[in-house]
């Protein structure tokens, strides 16, 4: 059974930092890209960023709203993905979801599995 | 960025009704469109990818169609467990973008 379990959410002050983790199980992690998607309270879904796999040189992509502040990394030996969030803003308050893409390598892949999410609250 | 316009933003329907939700993109995306279902307080669930392919385990009353800029999600006979919010997403241009959502409520 595919499982994605996020952790690391919590309350942080504006300008602060937080590190989210996503632990994956039930599939060959190294075969898949992973995206982070967030949802502000009462709002819609927003794509945050992507980590590709070894086949694609572990490259990353980011939404403009987080580029330069968030860094996504992965450790295939631990089947995990981290997202380091720095210089946090009030508007970063959201539930953050770790998602698995259907594949990895050349081509475009849809999200097929979602984690349960972890809440990040940025407030003074 | 590709803009995603979903309509309607909400609808009321009865069990057994046929429901159609549309998603229009600001530029052509071939068939790189996905649909997701989200119930209150829960993570989204993947329903459809490549505009018309059902994810594993998704009931056949769900179907998707379209290509280019115009897409539809159809629920052929609405069931009680289908009351939720539905989102479309394009996934072949960065940044990936989602529609604003369609809330399907009980009439």
pLDDT in tens, B21-48: 999 999 999 999 999 999 999 999 999 9
Residue to substitute from B32, B49, B86, B95, interface A, most A β-carbons within 10 A? B95
Q: Residue A26: which pLDDT band, with cuts at 50, 70 and 90?
A: very high
Cα–Cα dist A114/A5, whole Å:
9
The stretch B98-102 carries a mean pLDDT of 98
- End-to-end CA gap in chain B: 36
What pLDDT score does A104 carry? 85
Percent of chain B clearing pLDDT 90 (strictly above): 98
CA distance A65 to chain B (A): 10
Does position A42 have pLDDT exceeding 90, yes or no? yes
Q: Quick one: CA torsion of A52, B94, B54, A24, rounded to 10 degrees?
A: 30
Smallest Cβ distance to B43: which of A44, A102, A114? A114
Task: With CB atoms and an 8 Å threshold, state whether A112 touches B95.
Answer: no
The secondary structure of A5-70, three-state, reads EEECCEEECCCCCEEEEEEEECCCHHHCCEEEEEECCCCCEEEEEEECCHHHCCCEEECCCCECCE
Tell me if B52 sits within 8 A of B64, measured CB to CB: yes
Is the pLDDT at A118 greater than 90? The verdict is yes
Q: How confident is the model at residue A17 (pLDDT cuts 50, 70, 90)?
A: very high
A106 CB neighbours in chain B (<8 A) are: none
Phi, psi (deg, nearest 5) at residue B80 = -55, -35
Q: Which residue of B has its CA nearest to A109?
A: B91
- For A53-107, write each residue's pLDDT tens digit: 999 999 999 999 999 999 999 999 999 999 999 999 999 999 999 999 998 888 8
Tell me which chain B residues have a C-beta less than 8 angstroms from the C-beta of A111. 34, 36, 46, 89, 91
Whole-number Å distance between alpha carbons of A64 and B28:
22
């Amino acid at each position: 059974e595919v499982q994605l379990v996020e952790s690391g959410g919590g309350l942080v002050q504006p300008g602060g930092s937080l590190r989210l983790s996503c632990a994956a199980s039930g599939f060959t992690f190294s075969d898949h890209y992973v995206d982070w998607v967030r949802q502000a309270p009462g709002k819609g879904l927003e794509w945050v960023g992507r980590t590709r796999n070894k086949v694609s040189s572990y490259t990353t992509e980011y939404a403009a709203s987080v580029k330069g502040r968030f860094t996504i990394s992965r450790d295939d030996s631990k089947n995990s993905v981290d997202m380091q969030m720095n210089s946090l803003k009030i508007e970063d308050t959201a539930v953050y979801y770790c998602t698995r893409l259907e594949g990895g390598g050349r081509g475009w892949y849809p999200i097929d599995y979602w984690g349960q999410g972890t809440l990040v609250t940025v407030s003074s | 960025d590709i803009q995603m316009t979903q309509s309607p933003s909400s609808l009321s329907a009865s069990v057994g009704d046929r429901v159609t939700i549309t998603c229009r993109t600001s530029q052509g995306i071939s068939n790189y469109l996905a649909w997701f279902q989200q119930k209150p307080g829960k993570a989204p669930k993947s329903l459809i990818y490549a505009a018309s392919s059902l994810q594993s385990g998704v009931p056949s009353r769900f179907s998707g169609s379209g290509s280019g800029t115009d897409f539809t999600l159809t629920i052929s006979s609405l069931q009680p467990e289908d009351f939720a919010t539905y989102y479309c997403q394009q996934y072949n241009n960065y940044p990936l973008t989602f529609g604003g959502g369609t809330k399907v409520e009980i009439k």
